[in-house]
Amino acid sequence: MRTSRFLMAALVISALCACSEDSPMSGGNATLNRTPASYKRIDRMGMPAVATALITSKQNYNEADPIDDARGDFVPEILAHLTTLHNALDDDLIAAGLTPATVQEAAAQGAPLVVPDVITVDTNAPSGFPNGRRLTDTVIDITLAVLLLDVNGLGDSNGPHPVTALVGVNPTANDEAFSTTFPYLAQPHQP
């Protein structure tokens, strides 16, 4: 969990301030002094497990927009890789006492969560994944459950597992307390 939290923090910090000295974000200046067209997207990680495990055409994906996701441009690639994951893991899931979803069920369950590849934030709804992300959210466990297991409460599925079925397989909490002030990350481990 520490590694994934570190990666998330690094991505957020990079996105906020990883620019050159001529950046509109450098020196504490948070105003945009360039047009949006002058910026270049280098990565799309609204749903990191999807972009990492189900997309191999990284350059095309990173240059695409969420509207391309909604149009279905990457659906064949996602389905092909989802099929590969299920072929490789379904026996292990069954051996662990879990019920895998079929690829079609997994796609139907996962589509509202992972397409388009954006972080959704609805200020009128409670915060927490999939409505934004808190540092304590078990994003990967929930995403994997939706993409691999027959879960209940999503779409037409009445599967035997809740979306939190895999929570606890990985660490459920950070081993250091998070700060109560920005940037909210835990103190680094001391050697």
pLDDT in tens, 137-175: 888 888 888 888 888 765 555 667 667 777 767 677 788
Task: Say if residues 161 and 150 touch (Cβ distance below 8 Å).
Answer: yes
Identify the pLDDT of residue 11: 42
Determine the residue type at 70. A
CA distance 176 to 90: 34
Calpha distance 1→10 (Å, rounded)? 14
**Residue found under tokens 């570190």:** 6
The answer to whether the beta carbons of residues 163 and 154 sit under 8 Å apart is yes
pLDDT tens digits along 95-136 = 988 889 999 988 988 888 888 888 888 899 988 888 888 888
Evaluate if pTM is beyond 0.75.
no
3-class DSSP assignment, residue 89: helix
d(CA 109, CA 103): 10
pLDDT (tens digit per residue) in 32-50: 556 666 667 777 878 877 8
